[in-house]
């Protein structure tokens, strides 16, 4: 009797997942149309031809739906960065950095509503739960992996001026925790450079996607590649 029940349970689980995927796709389309603050379970249900009460069997609230969208976006973006870092392991570190950041940019251009959900203005009344933390670090870990590999391969250039940054005790403790977490044998100066490059990358993307560089930059793809090269060079990633 038990074996005969298993295919039925499996079919139900697959059907549940299929409907959940359809809901997320419809919610993503709504994000593109109205933005995350106006995301409505009723509107999503209406698009799918469902009654809103049925939707609550999959997502208990708008915040639960937002969380699922955020996790999906983080995981998709993280996979893009990880795939680039993995596929370019035999290339010079600076080239790997430029290619990985370029892959992140392409994802953002193709999915601006997801980028805005992750890196745009906070959604009023919504606080991301702990479930989003690990997916949210995937893209950062992929970029740090490139630096990790460069250090392991002795392909990270030394700081030319020999100066060191006088960090606050709080920042030093944060850097010590980061080194332990990602197994990165980097100096404080190198970590400052990595984190600065990481934040500058997303700042540059936000300026492009939200129209802040319109009229100033004609070829955003070329400019992003050039800026990524400068960022990677400042970290010390070698071009050869």
Entry pTM:
0.86
Q: Which CATH superfamily is domain 73-235 in?
A: Tetracycline Repressor, domain 2 (1.10.357.10)
Question: Looking at residue 3, what is its pLDDT?
Answer: 53
The yes-or-no verdict on residue 36 having pLDDT over 60 is yes
Domain 1-60: give its CATH architecture.
Orthogonal Bundle (1.10)
Mind listing the pLDDT tens digit for each residue in 70-97? 999 999 999 999 999 999 999 999 999 9
Q: Cα–Cα distance between 149 and 74 in angstroms, integer? A: 23
Mind listing the pLDDT tens digit for each residue in 111-163? 999 999 999 889 999 999 999 989 998 998 899 999 999 999 999 987 645 55
Q: Where in the chain are all domains bearing CATH 1.10.357.10?
A: 73-235
Q: Where in the chain are all domains bearing CATH 1.10.10?
A: 1-60
């Amino acid at each position: 009797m038990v074996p005969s029940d298993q295919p039925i349970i499996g079919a139900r689980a697959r059907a549940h997942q299929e409907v959940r995927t359809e809901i997320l796709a419809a919610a993503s389309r709504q994000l593109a149309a109205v933005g995350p603050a106006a995301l409505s379970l009723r509107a999503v249900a209406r698009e799918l031809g469902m009654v809103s009460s049925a939707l609550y069997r999959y997502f208990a609230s708008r915040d639960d739906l937002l969380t699922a969208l955020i996790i999906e976006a983080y995981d998709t973006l993280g996979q893009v960065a990880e795939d680039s870092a993995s596929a370019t392991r035999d290339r010079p570190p600076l080239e790997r950095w430029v290619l990985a950041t370029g892959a992140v940019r392409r994802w953002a251009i193709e999915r601006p509503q997801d980028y805005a959900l992750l890196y745009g203005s906070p959604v009023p009344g919504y606080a991301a739960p702990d479930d989003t933390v690990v997916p949210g670090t995937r893209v950062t870990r992929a970029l740090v992996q490139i630096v990790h590999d460069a250090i392991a391969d002795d392909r990270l250039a030394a700081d030319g001026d020999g100066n060191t940054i006088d960090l606050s005790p709080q920042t030093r403790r944060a850097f010590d925790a980061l080194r332990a977490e990602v197994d990165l044998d980097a100096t404080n100066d190198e970590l400052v450079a990595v984190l600065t490059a990481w934040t500058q990358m997303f700042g540059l993307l936000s300026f492009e996607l939200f129209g802040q560089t319109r009229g100033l930059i004609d070829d955003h793809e070329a400019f992003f590649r050039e800026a990524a090269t400068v960022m990677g060079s400042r970290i010390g990633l070698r071009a050869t």
